[in-house]
Chain A
Amino acid sequence: MTLALAQLVLSGILIGGVYALIAVGLTLIFGVMKIVNFAHGEFLMAAMYATYWLQALLGWDPYVSVALVLPASFLFGLAVERLVIRPSIGKPHLVVVFATMGLSVLMQNLALFLWRGDYRPVRGALGETTWVLGPLRMNGALVVACAVSVGVTLLVLAWLRYTDFGKGLRATVQDRDVAMLMGIDVARVFSVTFAVGTALVGLAGALITPAYPTYPTVGLSFVLVAYVIVVLGGLGSIMGALLGGICIGVVESLTGYLIATSLNQLFSFLVFLAVLVFRPAGLLGQRPATLAGAS
């Protein structure tokens, strides 16, 4: 029994690492730009499809595809920021909500239209391998995905803390106007942030393809979890996203075993609502998801 439990926990940690990477991108964007990117899950989906097609058409291994998908995601993020996000900032909140939501629906349905709803699996070098840790078994691809995710997250943390740009970014988070007055190019910070956030989720997408097939609405299941993690870990907290991701991964793994799969999503939504209600400040976040009485 404990073995099964340990196995579930381990699998949970592995997938949790990937969830964390997705959530880090989301929380970074929210922390800096104060917007929720409703299309975040679709960016994941796009990266997964890109990885799939690179294999289907060129025979590339997904880990090789990362070399292309990562920068492509970054560029895609830059483009979206320039075309969709930038015109929305400063306008009523409604605009960025509907713009990113529209983007989400557009991408999902474009994928549906172009490639139909079929599940597209990707054959990765490690997708079918199982590594053994004592009595426990791990999916090779997931181990790699988790390791890379955690590594990249720590890199992001270092980037924020030690580079000049990172400091400028943190200043923008604290007070956008003051940052501008101090000479920080806030527009550039926004661009880069959004692009990095997109790149991170693109990376996550490429990494999980050996373990998960892709289909038009695959983004939805992952992004929902990402939202829960972001709120749980605290808005704008990278570390919180990492820890929260691991936690949620474990919880999901355990509950998936105990609760029927059809109700699994229901559980995620309920957890989400519960977190919003009871712990809007999250585990580590300084900035709660609720309205303060004060401005």
Chain B
Amino acid sequence: MSAAPPLLSLAGITKRFGALAANQGISLAVAPGEIVGLIGPNGAGKTTLFNIVTGFLAPDAGEIALGGEPMRRLKPSARARRGLVRTFQIAKPLAALSVLENVVAAALTRFPRVAEARREAEGVLALVGLEGPAEALARNLTVGQLKQLEVARALAAGPRVLLLDEVMAGLAPAEIGRMAALLRAIRDRGVTILWIEHVMAAIMRVADRIVVLHHGEKIAEGTPQDVARDPQVVQAYLGEKYLFAQGA
């Protein structure tokens, strides 16, 4: 547990859609260099939280701060430029552009000259493992490659905190292993990660800390082992105990 001040802090995030409370007073602190996993049954409010943190949705209440700087009034692109970058659950590739161009577009936010951005993009693609299809059109990629592209683009944007939304969904086991290694490599480069995931085995193994959401509330927080044993969590996932047993 790091003694450093949190890099990303959420305080009392609340969001209602009519009668549905998608997020109820969620508070969370992510220390620099941590990989924090966000889990919870479907409908728990995880993606809503991401949307709020990254500025795509305005909360009814609550504060978000990145490195102490409040993010409330900033639009998504402003937050991204300050280092709060996300991927999307359903990949959004720039379909008519090539893989490389996708990443260059992101790199250009940090390197205004196209030549430099290109070099940066090529480096990121190599890290992610997507340098092979660099010239292929994004619309022709496989699901696994699309996920890799999501991560590559996010990296090229220069994140301090990277928010990953189900980056392993739909991947084959070998791809999951590769992605897990990639996430560790990203953390080793100094990027903090907040990660929504349903592939339990992976997230329980890779994350330093797990936060559990259920019906919009945070019901547990702790190491993967502690969370797996938490009776409230088990109850929330009733019927999926076996997943925890495997991951713990």
Contacts and interface: CB of A to CB of B under 8 A. Distances in A.
Interface stretch (B34-42, B49-57, B110-118, B147-155): B49-57
Interface residues of B, number: 8
A293 interface: yes
B76 interface: yes
B54 to A, nearest CB: 10
A217 to B, nearest CB: 37
B205 interface: no
A170 to B, nearest CB: 17
Contacts of A293: 55-58, 75-76
Contacts of B51: 294
Interface string B69-88: 00000011000000000001
Contacts of A295: 56, 88
Contacts of B57: 293-294
A294 B22 CA distance: 15
Interface in A270-295: 292-295
Interface in B78-109: 88
A87 B139 CA distance: 20
A246 B75 CA distance: 39
Nearest to A294: B56
A292 B57 CA distance: 8
Nearest to B57: A294
Contacts of B76: 293
A107 to B, nearest CB: 33
Q: Which 8 A-B pairs have the closest CB atoms?
A: A294-B56, A294-B57, A293-B56, A294-B51, A293-B57, A293-B76, A293-B55, A293-B75
Interface in A240-295: 292-295
A295 B76 CA distance: 12
A64 B245 CA distance: 75
B53 to A, nearest CB: 12
